[in-house]
Amino acid sequence: MPNRNTVSFARKNMAIEELGNLFSQKLLVWNQKENKRQMPWKGEKDPYKIWLSEIILQQTRVEQGLNYYQNFIKAFPDVHALATAPEEKVFKLWEGLGYYSRCRNLIATAKFISSDLKGVFPKEFEPILLLKGVGNYTASAIASFAYNLPYAVLDGNVFRVLSRIFDIDTPIDASKGRKHFSQLAQDILPKDKAGAHNQAIMDFGALICKPHPECKICFFNQHCRAYLHKRQESLPVKEKKVQIRDRWLNYFIVKHRHEVLIRQRTEKDIWENLFEFLLIETGKNIGVDKLLNLFGDQYGIMEFDVLSQLTKKQKLTHQLINFNILCLQIKQKKNIPGFIWMETSQLNKYAFPKTLQEFAKNI
């Protein structure tokens, strides 16, 4: 005869299973009758378009990614078009989205599928997961949306929804938490409606169970454990704080008549493969006079007029970029190793980091 602890544990697990099944059922009804969220890739079955949308939406808000997706589909309607396009054109279309490693992976994967796989996208989870730039979430999204394979997605929205529905305070950024939530998401997934469920739970997290949730209009508020215990605002839990690194990037836009010096970044650093102007990075903020002296010493340009100087900040995930941008006019043209002279009217053909792009438009 089972002891009391065994019975109690079994009942607790049964309660979780019943809660999960009930939530999934009601979620699918809400999705069919009330979910009005419109996106061009919803209901899409073409794995190329699904993959493209998911890569664009990694670390990007839907509102921001929407136009990029539409522009990419227009420019590259299939994987062969993307694979054979000049890389400069792909990066230019990506300009402003940030996290440019995604674009590099996009290009590499398109070439692999087009050449090695003859344009046929993988149809099983494991081969999809092996594609460059594709992690568990993206592979699950592609597998479930394109082929209705039973793989649960787990993104920020899903973490938030599950932590509240089941009132779980295990940190979502800890290995134990990720493993627990991953199993839970898989357990409540209706295997025959995986794609619909995955899209619905992400939409529910974006529309109802937001960081500041709309609990009063939620179809599940009578069963949500966090809401019943008034804990919805404190979930999900994270244990780690992002460490921000300060960087001071001092750019010199060197002009000679209607030309400026630019180069392509090749270092394994932020903005790899994008274009930039002459750069001196310093460990702290220093005065303009010191910067100009450093500029003369490093690049051998001693005679110039300072046309303008502007400062700006840009926050990345783990870095705070402090820009100091000086526009200089030189009288005698000088070649700098690694840089090329480019007509200012042609700068719009090259992909620059977001802040430099803004300046490049007005040079």
Q: Which residues are catalytic?
A: 54
Q: Which two tokens stand for residue 345?
A: 């009217």
E-assigned strands of the chain?
245-256, 259-264, 275-276, 278-282, 305-315, 319-329, 340-343
The residue among 124, 2, 161, 136 whose CA lies nearest residue 58 is 136
Residues in CB range of 63: below 8 A, 6 or more apart: none
Q: How far apart are CA 260 and CA 131, in angstroms?
A: 39
Helices (H), 155-307: 156-165, 175-187, 194-207, 225-228, 288-299
Residues in CB range of 284: below 8 A, 6 or more apart: 248
How far is residue 67 from each of residues 35, 60, 306, measured CA to CA in Å? 22, 12, 38
Residues linked to residue 281 through DSSP beta bridges, in sequence order: 249
Q: How far apart are CA 168 and CA 176, in angstroms?
A: 12
